[in-house]
């Protein structure tokens, strides 16, 4: 049983996740490596568990920060901004698993970055490596009209239980967990190693909280939706059940074959019944040893109340615009574009439709700040911290779509918040629609990426926002991009997915994308089906062809997501067939240059560090 830092898990008053002694140990271990006392492989295994991931550039690294349940306080946002401005490129990146990442970090800057984050209660512990990764949760938890109950206290309790657990950093491979309380699976629990979906059951005269529990979900080269382990598990049992599942994976998972050592492979190899037997024995032993209890009554957890404190006066839109304009961004790579958005009444109307949702608490709304490609300049992060304190409850939640959500915004102040978000360059409408493109970092920094996925993401999002008629045609579709098959950009579960690849034309390399359609998650995961392999420079044409096909062929009232789930794949393939063909005679110079780059494309895939 792991030690819980403190039994109180009280939402806004949540305690630190950091441990300063770990940073001291990190520095000492780095010094041992630099003196040659430990091998590069030993150092790699050690630093990965501490959130430090190698880039394709040999002299810099990526630092990943765990953001449990995606929740960030204003002081934590300021700490993230400090790291971005002092030691990274002047900006940070939000991931699809509600983490923050900093790229192109020099080794000597890791220690001060970790210490600054620890001051604000943030940790990089078990953010990478063969560990229990960041436990994610629905960003609408606690405020959604359709939720069964707020999953936040349960997700935080499990986070604290498994963080630094004796098994959590020595697994055969990474291990992912997500919580969802709404009818729609915002947290994509179906593709996690453990997915928790809130349920309520009447037992006699008592209402009992619990979860539908799924196990063995995942994407990459073997996409699988999680299998149901429990239709209903009482909430008070989640710690023991999670530990038993982790124990079985720790003991029986494949530690030899790098591409076959996720839990979904273990379940497949053992068979469902054998895996359940092993799990049952582990759970029985844990319970025989006394088990673990939640630090609150499972059926009466802490409740997030409306803010009742004085909030400072917000900065003016002019002041916000002037402040974010002071950003200093440094290359290499694609950098965020920081310029105010149109804030006319017409744009406000559209933005309200897509970026604002009424909370179940009367008089309050959630507001989404749209973050293109998940990139935030340090000044924008600071602006978000100030706006969270002056309009919200002093916190924000990052989303799997790489945006940031404000909660507890008085509905009468939504317009005032919008004017300031627009001034910060974060007021674009269409959050969560086809225009809100999701992308992994790609070959700009990732060792195993094949293509510059962020380049494609910027091109597609810009094209869609320049053509609002295309957004209006299929707003429910999602576009997600990954630079390799691993799927960090969640392309497997996109309405339209793009996976980076390469082909040779006349002896020269051409960046291309596998195009998939029909993916999504709601209860179970639907994985996109391959319909074409398109040179990167033809991706806009491919997108427009797909939207035209929907426009001309869908049934009355049929959404684009539903259409691409049921349409005959041969029909889709035929619509894209000519785009997939490229020869030395019809290739143009731009075909040999990846999107977002200027030099000729030279693919280089290095050994990845996803598995230590």
Q: What is the pTM of this model?
A: 0.96
Show the tokens assigned to 114. Answer: 């970790």
Instruction: From 208, 227, 231, select the one nearest 266 (Cα to Cα).
Output: 227
- The yes-or-no verdict on residue 9 having pLDDT over 50 is no
Residue 177, strand partner residues: 194
Show the tokens assigned to 541. Answer: 């044409």
Task: Give pLDDT, residue 4.
Answer: 40
Give yes or no for a contact between 446 and 104, defined as CB atoms under 8 angstroms apart: no
Distance of CA 612 to the CA centre of its chain: 21
Name the band, by pLDDT with cuts 50, 70 and 90, for residue 11: very low
How far is residue 329's CA from residue 378's CA, in Å, rounded to a whole number?
9
Task: Give pLDDT, residue 12.
Answer: 61
How far is residue 463's CA from residue 271's CA, in Å, rounded to a whole number?
47
How far is residue 352's CA from residue 409's CA, in Å, rounded to a whole number?
13
How far is residue 324's CA from residue 130's CA, in Å, rounded to a whole number?
38
Mean pLDDT over residues 301-311, rounded? 92
Coil, strand or helix: which one is 563? helix
Task: Give pLDDT, residue 449.
Answer: 94
Task: Give pLDDT, residue 453.
Answer: 97
Domains of the chain and CATH, by start = 11-119 (3.30.70), 140-288 (3.30.413.10), 317-423 (3.90.480.20), 439-592 (3.30.413.10)
The DSSP string of 62-99 is: EEEEB-GGGEEEHHHHHHHHHHHHHHSSSEEEE-TTS-
Show the tokens assigned to 498. Answer: 């793009």
How far is residue 30's CA from residue 38's CA, in Å, rounded to a whole number?
9
- The yes-or-no verdict on residue 609 having pLDDT over 90 is no
pLDDT in tens, 459-508: 999 999 999 999 999 999 999 999 999 999 999 999 999 999 999 999 99
Region of residue 598 (left: phi > 0; alpha: psi -120 to 50; beta: else)? alpha
Name the band, by pLDDT with cuts 50, 70 and 90, for residue 611: low
Show the tokens assigned to 139. Answer: 């960003």
Residue 202, strand partner residues: 207
Count of alpha carbons within 13 angstroms of residue 216, beta-carbon side:
20
Mean pLDDT over residues 197-206, rounded? 93
């Amino acid at each position: 049983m792991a030690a819980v830092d403190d039994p109180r898990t009280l939402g806004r008053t949540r305690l630190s996740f950091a441990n300063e002694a770990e940073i001291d140990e990190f520095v000492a271990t780095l010094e041992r490596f630099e003196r040659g006392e430990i091998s590069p492989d030993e150092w790699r295994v050690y630093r990965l568990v501490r959130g430090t991931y190698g880039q394709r550039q040999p002299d810099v690294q990526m630092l990943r920060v765990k953001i449990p349940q995606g929740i960030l306080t204003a002081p934590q946002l300021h700490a993230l901004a400090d790291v971005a401005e002092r030691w990274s490129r002047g900006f940070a990146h939000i991931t699809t698993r509600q983490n923050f990442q900093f790229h192109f970090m020099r080794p000597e800057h890791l220690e001060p970055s970790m210490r600054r984050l620890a001051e604000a209660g943030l940790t990089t512990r078990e953010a990478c490596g063969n560990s229990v990764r960041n436990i994610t949760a629905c960003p609408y938890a606690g405020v959604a009209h359709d939720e069964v109950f707020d999953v936040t206290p349960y997700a935080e309790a499990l986070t604290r239980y498994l963080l630094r657990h004796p098994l959590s950093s020595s697994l055969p491979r990474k291990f992912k967990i997500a919580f969802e309380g709404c009818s729609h699976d915002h947290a994509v629990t179906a593709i996690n190693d453990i997915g928790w979906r809130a349920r309520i059951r009447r037992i006699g005269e008592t209402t009992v909280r619990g979860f539908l529990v799924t196990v063995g979900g995942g994407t990459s080269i073997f996409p699988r939706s999680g299998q149901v382990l429990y239709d209903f598990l009482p909430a008070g049992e989640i710690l023991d059940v999670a530990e038993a599942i982790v124990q079985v994976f720790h003991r029986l998972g494949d530690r030899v074959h790098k591409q076959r050592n996720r839990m979904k492979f273990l379940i497949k190899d053992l068979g469902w019944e054998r895996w359940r037997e092993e799990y049952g024995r582990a759970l029985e032993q844990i319970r025989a040893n006394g088990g673990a209890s939640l630090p609150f009554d499972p059926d009466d957890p802490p409740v997030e109340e409306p803010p009742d404190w004085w909030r400072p006066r917000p900065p003016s839109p002019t002041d916000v615009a002037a402040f974010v304009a002071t950003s200093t961004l440094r290359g290499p790579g694609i950098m965020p574009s920081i310029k105010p958005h149109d804030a006319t009444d017409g744009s406000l109307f559209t933005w309200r439709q897509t970026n604002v949702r009424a909370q179940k608490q009367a008089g309050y709304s959630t507001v989404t700040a749209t973050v293109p490609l998940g990139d935030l300049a340090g000044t924008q992060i600071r602006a978000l911290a100030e706006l969270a304190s002056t309009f919200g409850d002093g916190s924000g939640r990052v989303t799997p779509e790489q945006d940031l959500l404000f909660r507890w915004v008085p509905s009468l102040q939504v317009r005032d918040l919008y004017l300031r978000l627009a001034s910060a360059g974060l007021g674009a409408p269409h959050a969560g629609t086809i225009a809100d493109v999701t992308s992994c970092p790609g070959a700009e920094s990732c060792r195993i990426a094949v293509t510059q996925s962020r380049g494609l993401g910027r091109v597609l999002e810009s094209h869609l926002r320049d053509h609002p008629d295309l957004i209006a045609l299929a707003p429910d579709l999602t576009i997600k991009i990954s630079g390799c098959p691993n799927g960090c950009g969640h392309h497997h579960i996109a309405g339209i997915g793009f996976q980076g690849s390469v082909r040779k034309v006349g002896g020269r390399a051409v960046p291309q994308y596998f195009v998939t359609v029909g993916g999504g998650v709601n209860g179970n995961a639907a994985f996109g089906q391959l319909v074409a392999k398109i040179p990167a420079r033809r991706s806009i044409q491919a997108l427009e062809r797909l939207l035209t096909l929907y426009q001309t062929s869908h049934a009355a009232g049929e959404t684009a997501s539903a259409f691409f789930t049921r349409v005959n794949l041969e029909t889709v393939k035929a619509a894209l067939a000519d785009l997939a063909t490229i020869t030395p005679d019809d290739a143009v110079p731009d075909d040999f240059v990846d999107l977002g780059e200027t030099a000729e494309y030279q693919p280089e895939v290095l050994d990845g560090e996803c598995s230590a």
